[in-house]
Amino acid sequence: MKNITVIIILVFTSLYVNAQNQEAQNVIGVRAGFSVTGGFIKAAGKLEDNSLDTLQRETSTSNLPALSFTYDYGISDEFSVGLLTSIQTFNGSVKNYGFNTPNDTFIVENIDFTLRRIYVGIAPKYHWATSNEKVDLYSGIRLGYIIWVNNIETSDPNFDIFDKFNVGRPSFNLVPIGGNFYFDDNFGANFELAIGAPYIFSAGLQYKF
């Protein structure tokens, strides 16, 4: 009898469990995200080329988190659509880079670079039902476009190590799980786990109105 009572209570409780997103609700946010792109940039700088460069090339990189701004609009209690814009800056240097000039002179120099990745996209989301009115869990996708703005200081006109980071491209990504945790009726914190650009994990603050 006790087990049946517990089951009945759980069933009736589940009837009052709703998604915490609301129709016509607006949510703005700012986030700091972390990506693996910095590692790919560093690896690209270490690749050997076909020149006479026999020196030990050293590549160092540093990057700031991806700073993102978001806006979401509640289409219904379960679905929302959002806008996401993000920028991430990668700084670094390539030491002992060697190349041949047109008159067959071999030059060794250190190269400084700044690579900026800009992302703009839309983010449809499905909001899961929860029993806590302060918790909003969701999953979704991101459809966007990536733009690179690069500044590379080198005297080699054929320097192409970072060319793959200089081409705009569409981006399709998954968001397996994200969540908003509200401190009161308006302000809250956010986290998001994602697959793809502009970050794989982010955390930030939210404001709904």
Residues 80-112 have pLDDT tens digits of 999 999 999 999 898 888 888 888 888 889 999
How confident is residue 133, by pLDDT bands cut at 50, 70 and 90?
A: confident
C-alpha dihedral (2, 8, 9, 15), degrees to nearest 10: 170
Q: Measuring CA to CA, how many Å separate 179 from each of 14, 138, 193? A: 20, 6, 9
Give pLDDT, residue 50: 42
Distance, CA of 134 to CA of 20 (rounded, Å): 8
pLDDT above 70: residue 54: no
pLDDT at residue 6, as a whole number: 46
Residue 165 and residue 118 in contact, taking contact as beta carbons nearer than 8 Å: no
Tell me the average pLDDT across 9-22: 49
Residue 20 banded pLDDT, cuts 50, 70, 90:
low
Give the side-chain half-sphere CA count within 13 A for 200. Answer: 6
Q: CA-CA distance, 62 to 42, in Å (whole number)?
A: 9
Residue 115 contacts residue 137 (beta carbons within 8 Å): no
Q: What is the pLDDT of residue 46?
A: 66
Q: What is the pTM of this model?
A: 0.80
pLDDT at position 16 over 60? no
Closest Cα to residue 57, out of 130, 17, 109, 102? 109
Specify which residues 201 forms β-bridges with: 34, 193
Mean pLDDT of 139-148: 96
The answer to whether 104 touches 82, Cβ cutoff 8 Å, is: no
Of the chain, the percentage scoring pLDDT greater than 90 comes to: 54
What tokens were used for 15?
């009837």
Q: Is the pLDDT of residue 127 over 70?
A: yes
Evaluate if residue 58 carries a pLDDT over 80.
Answer: no
The secondary element (H helix, E strand) that includes residue 113 is: strand 106-127
Q: pLDDT band for position 184 (50/70/90)?
A: very high
Alpha helices in 47-199 (DSSP H): none
Residue 108 neighbours by CB distance under 10 Å:
12
Structure tokens at 135: 């918790």
Yes or no: say if 158 and 128 are a contact pair by the CB < 8 Å rule: no
pLDDT of the residue at 124: 97
The 10 Å CB-count burial string (b at 16+, else e) for 120-129 is ebebbbebbe
pLDDT of residue 136: 93
What's CA 79's distance to the chain center, in Å? 22
Each residue of 1-11: pLDDT tens digit?
555 444 444 44
Query: Which domains does the chain carry?
Result: 2-208 (2.40.160.20)
Given a cut of 50, whether residue 30 has pLDDT beyond it is yes
Task: Determine the average pLDDT of the residues in 147-151.
Answer: 94
- What is the pLDDT, as a whole number, of residue 44? 76
